[in-house]
Amino acid sequence: MSATFTVRLQRPGADPVQFEAPPDLPVLLAAERAGIAMESSCRNGTCRSCICLMDAGSVAYRIAWPGLSLDEKREGWILPCVAHATADLQLTCPL
């Protein structure tokens, strides 16, 4: 069994929540597995409805180019529906 990473998630008007994310599961699905609903629509890295700011940690994508600009990636924006944790994460989600 592979190691999991801890994700701490802050959403507007809600207390922070924490869940475990295995590296083989997108962060969004790991949240749902833990009973935490995150904003989403397409679930394939296109619509950006799941976008969150990564305040700490790192992620990897298994699709060639998720719907983020290079500047957005540099600023720390991620798309949890297609992002796999590669370290413990601290996320702030605007929705």
Using CB under 6 A as the binding rule, whether residue 77 contacts ligand FES is answered as no
- Chosen residue from 9, 40, 89, 91 binding ligand FES by CB under 6 A: 40
| 10 near ligand FES, rule: CB under 6 A | no
Q: What are phi and psi for residue 17, nearest 5 degrees?
A: -125, 160
Contacts of 71 (CB under 8 A, 6+ apart): none
- Quick one: residue 48, left, alpha or beta (phi over 0 = left, psi -120 to 50 = alpha)? left
> Is there binding between residue 26 and ligand FES (CB under 6 A)?
no
Kind and range of the H or E element at 9? strand 5-10
CB of 39: closest distance to ligand FES in angstroms?
Answer: 8
State which H helix or E strand residue 52 sits in. Answer: strand 52-56
**Choices 15-23, 46-54, 55-63, 87-95; region in contact with ligand FES by CB under 6 A:** 46-54
Give the binding site for ligand FES (CB under 6 A): 40-43, 45-50, 67, 79, 81
